[in-house]
Amino acid sequence: MRLSWLAGGLCLQLGALAFQPRPVSLRAQRARQLYSSTKDAQDWLVEPMDTERAREVASSFQHEDFEPVWWAKNNNVMTIAGAGVVSDAWKKLTGAPAEPPFYDVRKQVLARDGAEIFVDFRAADRAAGWKGEHVVVMLHGLESSTEAPQMKRMGQAFNDVGCDVAAVSFRSCAFDGETPSAPGAYHLGFTNDVQDVLRSLARNPLLPLADEEASGKTPPAPKFYLSAFSLGANVCLKLLGEYGDGEADEWAGVDVRGAAVSCVPFDPVACSPLLSDVTFNRIVYSGNFLKTLIPKAERQYAALGADAFPPSFSIERVRQSKSIGDFDDAYIAPIYGFMDKWDYYATQGCFPGGYLEKIRVPAHVINAKDDPFIMDVRLPTKEDIGEAPLSLQYTQYGGHCGFLAQASQGGQMWLPRQLARFIAHLKEQL
């Protein structure tokens, strides 16, 4: 086993020598100049959060029980109905009118590699407009988007507690046909784009406003909160572990106060078989994801050409993928330099990767024990997280991002409101 890993590492190194990346574009050069120095004239000091105080704030948050609707106690029914599949089909059948735009404006943020990150903004006070003082940065799940019903419900809930929201699109998910300009897009542990969005908003808190709207206004020192579900939730918690207490130079001026996340695949090593080996999950859930993942990979391969990809990459292996695990082995691992999917899962999962215990700001987590993607396999305990200021809430029911509650609890708004309750708790306590 040890020799095979060493051999695999040697092959990767030799492959890297043979693989000649494309010349760095002017856009990428400008991005590197922008992010090479975190100190500038507009920079301000952020007071590191006291870990003991963070634990007090997290532990003082009161959980509210989840009571599922009687007909959705089956985890797959809860997951599929909660995703809006039934309601979307009904709207199409009845010819319901299109909903008005949810967000106020979409802007592009330049990433460190020169790529454009699409961010949708919505002000808490639609009449007064963007203030940028309390900002919740939201992340979606695998092959989801900022237009997903769950994202809009979360955005509304955060607006209701007085927070502006910035919804980040992972690469290739901003609009139909979006093709990243370099191999790859996003994955369980890809935190660079989120960090770049935070740093950009820290430098320019009035970014969502037009120049004439921002003129004459004094930029606030924004307080950031993170929220996400599913894959995005792992990205979020991993980023919090990287952030720590925020004292590292790369985080200068970025004041992250905490996070509220749901349906976290804490340990992808343990979760992977649930989507690959369980027949229903492989056919229904993995199959649904692969309907967009494989065509995106094919479109990117056709646009960039074989020479843009590492020698170990095979588009045929991608096309033959029958599960998410197959796709991660064929696409994610070779492009991002992991030995295989297991190396990817072990290093990028927020739990096995060792990021949870490094978190130093308060965070609230809601996971269902019957989540078909995750179940109760390796859900972290208080003993596992050590001194990290995490509030862990594991419900008996809920499925994966379903959480259809009794009408008295708000129905589909139960989960978004719980996340927003925690953010409001942070605003009040910190």
The residue annotated as part of the active site, out of 328, 371, 391, 425, is 371
Q: The whole model's pTM is what?
A: 0.90
Q: pLDDT confidence of 378, banded at 50, 70, 90?
A: confident
What is the average pLDDT value for the chain, to the nearest integer? 90
The span from the CA of 147 to the CA of 153, in Å, is 10
144 is catalytic: no
The residue annotated as part of the active site, out of 227, 230, 321, 391, is 230
> Hey, what CATH topology would domain 46-92+100-267+349-429 get?
Rossmann fold (3.40.50)
pLDDT at 18 over 80: no
pLDDT at 136 over 90: yes
**pLDDT tens-digit series, residues 177-186:** 999 999 999 9
DSSP state for residue 321 in the 8-state scheme = -
> Which amino acid, one-letter code, is at 32?
R
CA dihedral 178, 179, 184, 185 (to 10 degrees): -10
371 is catalytic: yes
**pLDDT tens-digit series, residues 313-352:** 999 999 999 999 999 999 999 999 999 999 999 999 999 9
| pLDDT recorded at residue 8 | 41
Q: Which residue has the tokens 């046909």?
A: 177
Average pLDDT value for residue range 188-210 = 97
Enumerate the domain spans of the chain: 46-92+100-267+349-429, 269-346
Q: pLDDT confidence of 97, banded at 50, 70, 90?
A: confident
The residue annotated as part of the active site, out of 134, 187, 400, 425, is 400
* The dihedral sign for the CA sequence 239, 244, 249, 253: positive
pLDDT at 87 over 80: no
DSSP state for residue 273 in the 8-state scheme = H
Non-local CB neighbours of 9 within 8 Å, separated by 6+ positions: 339
CA 58 distance to own-chain centroid: 21
Question: Contact at 8 Å (CB) between 388 and 359?
Answer: yes
Please enumerate, as own/partner, the contacts of 378-387 that have beta carbons within 8 Å and a separation of 24 or more: 378/266, 378/267, 378/270, 378/271, 378/351, 379/266, 380/266, 380/351, 380/356, 384/351, 384/356, 384/357, 385/356, 385/357, 385/359, 386/357, 387/51, 387/55, 387/357
Q: pLDDT confidence of 36, banded at 50, 70, 90?
A: low
DSSP result, 213-255: HHTTPPPP-PEEEEEEETHHHHHHHHHHHHHTTS-SGGGTT-E
Distance linking the first and last C-alpha atoms of the chain: 49
249 is catalytic: no
Least confident of 75-89, 116-130, 302-316: 75-89
